[in-house]
Amino acid sequence: MSDTSREAVFVRDGDLFVPSELGRGPWSPDALHGGAPAALLAGYAEEMVGDPEMLLARLTMELVRPVPLAPLTVTATMGKGRSVRRVELTLSHSETVVARAVALFLKGEDQGIEPRLEGHPLSGPERCHEPFLVPGMKQVTSFHYTAMDIRVAHGQTVGPGPAAAWFRLKYPVVAGETVSPAMSAVAAADFGNGLSWILPIEEFTFVNTDLTVYLNRHPRSEWVALDSRMTVESNGIGLVRSDLYDEQGLIGVAQQNLFVRARNR
C-alpha cells in the first residue's frame, strides 16, 4: 500500500477502493467500521447523481457480512426521477457481496417556508473536550480512534447509558477527493452503538446489521453530533436511535439494528 493510502480511508485503484487501517472497526482487525463503507457509498451515489440540487435524504445500508479490510468494488444503478431519484448500490469483495445500499435523493427547491428553530440541546464542539474511549475497545489505528476527531458532549463513553458526541473526519474518505457534507453525516451516524452502549464490550458483541440515515438537510459545518440511545432485549436483538445535529441544529435521525451475542457462549 502506498504512502498516500495512509492519508485516507480508501484509495482508488482503477475500479477498486482499497481501504487503509484508518477504516478498521472495533470487532475484528480484518473488518471495517460501518461508517467507512457507508460514507464511501454515500459519496459514490452523490457522484453518480451529479446534481447539487438533488440532496441525499436517506441512505439505508445493509451489512450482508463483515466488510473486509481488503480491496472493494462498487456497482450501482440509478433511476431517472426529476424530483425523487433512487440509487441502488452493491459493495463487493472478490465478487462476494458484503453490503447493499439504497440512496434516496430529493430535489431541493425554495418553498418559502420559515424553518422552525429550537434551542440546541448540546454544547458546541469547542466546549467539549472529553475523548471517545470505550472500555475493552483496543486503542489501535482505526476509524473510531484515528480517522475521527470525537468529543463527548453529554453522558459518557467509559460507562453505559445514553450519550452524545461531536464527530469530525480528520482524513479524506477517498484519497484526493473532497468529503461532502452528506458523507460526514453518514460517517458519524454509524457510531450510535459505540457511543451509547449498555453492555460491556468484554462480555458481549453488539454489531449493527444495518444503518438507516434520514437527513432533512445536510450539515453546514464539518462537525456532526449524535445523541444516541441503545435498547436491547433478552433475545439478543437491539436497536440504537440517534438524533443528528450540526452546530446550528437538528439535521436528521439514524437507526441501527443490533445483533447481540455473549462472547463466551
Calculate mean pLDDT across residues 122-144: 91
pLDDT score, position 117: 63
What does the pLDDT average to over 169-193?
97
DSSP 176-220: TSPPPHHHHHHHHHTTHHHHS--S-TTTEEEEESEEEEEESS--S
- Classify residue 60 by its DSSP letter: E
Cell 420559515, located at residue: 114
- pLDDT attached to residue 5: 47
What number is the average pLDDT over the span 130-156?
Answer: 92
Report in angstroms the alpha-carbon separations of 47 from 40, 182, 195.
11, 12, 30
Place of cell 457481496: 97
Give the per-residue pLDDT at 9.
98
What is the arithmetic mean of pLDDT over 3-10? 72
Residue 250 has pLDDT above 70, yes or no: yes
Q: What is the pLDDT of residue 3?
A: 42
134: confidence class by pLDDT, cuts 50, 70, 90:
confident
Interatomic CA distance for residues 208 and 191, integer angstroms: 10
Of 87-101, 194-208, 236-250, the one with minimum mean pLDDT is 194-208
Strands (E), the chain: 10-13, 16-19, 54-63, 72-78, 84-93, 96-107, 130-131, 148-154, 163-169, 204-208, 210-215, 224-232, 237-245, 250-262
User: For 74-104, how does the pLDDT look when each residue is reduced to its tens digit (9 = 90+)?
Assistant: 999 999 988 999 999 999 999 999 999 999 9
What is the reported pLDDT for 99?
98
pLDDT at 1 over 60: no
Q: Return the percentage of the chain with pLDDT > 90, whole number.
A: 81
User: How many Cα atoms are found within 13 Å in the side-chain-facing hemisphere of 44?
Assistant: 28
